[in-house]
Amino acid sequence: MTSEYRDDELVRLTLAGDSEAFAPLVRRHRRAALARALAIVLDPLDADDVAQGAFVQAYEQLAALRDPARFEVWLMTIVHRRALNFVRAEKRRRAEPLTDAIPDRTRASAYTALDDRALRDELLAALGKLSLVQRSVVLLADLEQWSHERIAQSLGCSVVMSRRHLSDARRRLRELLAHKVGQ
């Protein structure tokens, strides 16, 4: 029922007191929030925590959203900031590089669908060698199938730059993972 509404309509319904109107927003944007968080924190479980926290924050601060039609961009900004704050806190806590700190956890997650743990770890390590914007673009484009227009709006860049970042990211990933293909 409410899942057929546009984002701005769901925001307005939530603010009007409809307790079920926020759930479709979570379902609709969960994977993109996970991808955006993963691009920054490089750990699927931590990305899940960041994304969940972002949805809680968005719900609590929904009244501060000036333009309900821009809910997705606003949410991705919250995810981005929370993920950066998480990384800063982890760096202070662990005092080691993020790429060396990918933990070996077994709890289920949306991104543990890769059966081969070594391949997943290799991919995450390769993603960690990309710039933040390249990681974001490649995950949103390839994992979430976002258009370049949508990515550009979310990241605050032009469509041309979104395409360029994706091309550069894919080329770099091919270089970094080329040795795995030959094995």
Q: What is the pLDDT of residues 61-83, one digit of tens each?
A: 999 999 999 999 999 999 999 99
- Residues in the chain where the model's pLDDT stays below 50: 95-114, 182
| Cβ-contact 51, 79 below 8 angstroms | yes
User: What is the pLDDT at residue 1?
Assistant: 56
pTM for this entry: 0.66
According to the model, what pLDDT value does residue 3 have?
A: 64
Neighbours of 83 (CB within 10 A): 27
> If you classify domain 114-183 with CATH, what class do you get?
mainly alpha
Domain limits, CATH 1.10.10.10, in the chain: 114-183
Contacts of 40 (CB under 8 A, 6+ apart): 47, 50, 80, 83, 84, 86, 87, 132, 135, 136
Give the CATH fold of the 1-113 domain.
Answer: Rna Polymerase Sigma Factor; Chain: A (1.10.1740)
Contact between 45 and 105 (Cβ < 8 Å): yes
- What length does the chain have? 183
- Separation CA 111–CA 119 (nearest Å): 13
Question: What whole-number distance in Å separates Cα of residue 43 and Cα of residue 41?
Answer: 6
Q: What is the pLDDT of residue 180?
A: 60
Give the rounded distance of the alpha carbon of 16 from its chain centre: 28
Hey, what amino acid is at 135? Answer: R
